[in-house]
Amino acid sequence: MSFTLGIVAFFVGLLLVILIHELGHFTVARAFGFKVEEYFVGFGPKLWSTRRGEIEYGVKALPLGGYVKIAGMNPYQPVAPEDLPRAYGSKPRWQRALVIFAGPGIHLVIAAVLFGAYFLVSGDYSTATPVVSQVAATLNGHVSPASEAGLRVGDRIVRVGDLDTPNLPELGDYTTAHVGEPVEFTVIRDGESVRLTITPEEATDPAGGSIGRVGIVLDAEDPGSVGPVTAATSGVKEVGSATAESFGQIGKVFGPEGIGRVTRLVFTDAERRVEDPTSVVGIGRAVGKTGAAGDWSTILYFLGFVTVFIGLVNLMPLPPFDGGHLAVLLIEKIRGRTIDQRRIIPVAVAVMGFFIVFVALTMIADLTKPAT
C-alpha cells in the first residue's frame, strides 16, 4: 500500500465512522417515534440531497462531522402543531437520552469491530519472533539508532535488555520504557547470535502519545492464526484499553497544557516535542507512513483508536457535544424543570468556537512543524 493510498483509506474509514455515528442517532430516534427531518454528512454548502418521505438525506461540502435534525431540538425553529407529539421536547427524557447516547455509544461497537478485524488479519503475535523488515536511515533529523548500531533487515530479535523472546507488543513497551537508555538487542543473523547496543529515542504515535523508537519496521515470524471468537474477544478488550488511554489523552490535549503547547508551536520558534497534540493531519501522515511500509492491517488499529477517541470527545459534558445534551437532561431531571434551550446556545457557540480555533491551530502546527 502506498503512502497516499494509506491516507485515503484512513480518511474514508473516518468518514464511514461519522456516517455510522449519525446512523446511531437516526435509528434510535426513528425507533422511538421522533420526527427526523434531516440526515446529513458534513457541514456547510449542500452538495447533494434527496427526500424520501418526510426526511431529507444529503451530503455537505465540509466532511468534518454530520448531524441528524429532529423536530423541536432547535428552539428558534417552530414545530407544526401536528408534529408536536413527535417533537424532541415532547418525548420522555430517557428516550431523549438514548437518542443522544446512541451516536457516541456506537463508536465503541465500531471500534470493537475494527480492533477485532485487526487481530483477525494480523494474527497472534504472542509467540511470534519480531523480524526487522525495514531500517530507517534517519530519525528525528539524524542517523537512526538502529542504523547506527548496525541492525539489518532480516535480523530476528530474540532478546532485548533483560527480556527473553519478546513479542511485538512487549518489544514496543520495552523500548518506550527505556527511552534514552542504552539497551542491548540480541538478534539472530545468518544463523549466528549478534549483540547490538541501541538507545531508543522519543517519538509520537498516531494517537499523540509518547513512545520509544529506534528507527525500524518490524514484522513477525510466522504469527499464529486467530479465530473469529478470539479476535472478537481481543477486540472488545482493546476497546477497554483504548478508552482508558483516550481519557488521559483528552485531558492532556484539551487542557491548559495542550493549549499552551499548540500555541507555542504556532506562534513561537519552539520545536515540536513528542508530547505535543496532533491533528488529523498528523495522524493521516503517520497512517500514510504505515501504508507505505505495507502494514495496512495496522491502519485498522489506528482507526479503531481514533474512533474511541472521537466518541469520548463527543461525550464531553459541553454543548453542542452529545455529552452536553446529556448533561442538560441530567440537570433537568435533578431540578425537576425544563431548561430553556436558548440559554444554552451562547455556551455552545463559545465551545464550538474554541474547538474550531484549536483544531485549526493544531493542523497548522502539523503542517509547519510535522512530527517525525
Q: Which residues are catalytic?
A: 22
> Burial level of 140, CB count in 10 A (0-12/13-18/19+)?
middle
Angle, helices 297-314 vs 3-31, to 10°: value is 40
Distances (CA, A) of 252 to 78, 121, 222, 228, 249: 41, 32, 38, 35, 5
- Rounded Cα–Cα distance for residues 103 and 317 (Å): 15
Cell numbers for 89: 421536547
Q: Are strands 156-160 and 183-189 parallel, antiparallel or unpaired?
A: antiparallel
Query: Which residue blocks in the chain are alpha helix, DSSP H?
Result: 3-31, 93-122, 145-149, 168-177, 228-254, 256-267, 280-292, 297-314, 322-335, 345-368
